[in-house]
């Protein structure tokens, strides 16, 4: 997973403003009690950080790969 994909998933799940707080303040106990930003800065895989964040915050597993997309129908 690219870092840009990671950021997109976090923003979609939590909203851009709250995502910034989560990334800076959430301590992931299963990842050496570091924040997601600390982990990414030290080179951890964004996918592993995302999955740890989802698990830690109780994101439903069906959204671990992003929120389901709905098809938009063109109006005539």
The b-or-e profile of 19-43 (16+ CB within 10 A means b, else e) is beebbeebebeebeebbbebbbeee
Q: What is the pLDDT along the chain (76 residues), one digit of tens a residue?
A: 899 999 999 999 999 999 999 999 999 998 899 999 999 999 999 999 999 999 999 999 988 887 666 555 444 4
Q: Which long-range contacts (CB under 8 A, 24 or more apart) does 6-12 make?
A: 6/40, 6/46, 6/47, 6/49, 6/50, 8/66, 9/50, 9/66, 10/36, 10/50, 10/53, 12/66, 12/67
**The model's pTM:** 0.82
């Amino acid at each position: 997973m690219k870092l840009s994909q990671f950021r997109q998933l976090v923003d979609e799940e939590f909203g851009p403003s709250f995502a910034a707080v989560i990334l800076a303040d959430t301590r992931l106990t299963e990842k050496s009690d570091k924040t997601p930003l600390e982990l990414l800065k030290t080179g951890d895989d964004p996918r592993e950080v995302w999955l740890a964040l989802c698990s830690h915050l109780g994101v439903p597993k069906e959204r671990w790969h992003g929120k389901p997309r709905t098809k938009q129908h063109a109006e005539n």
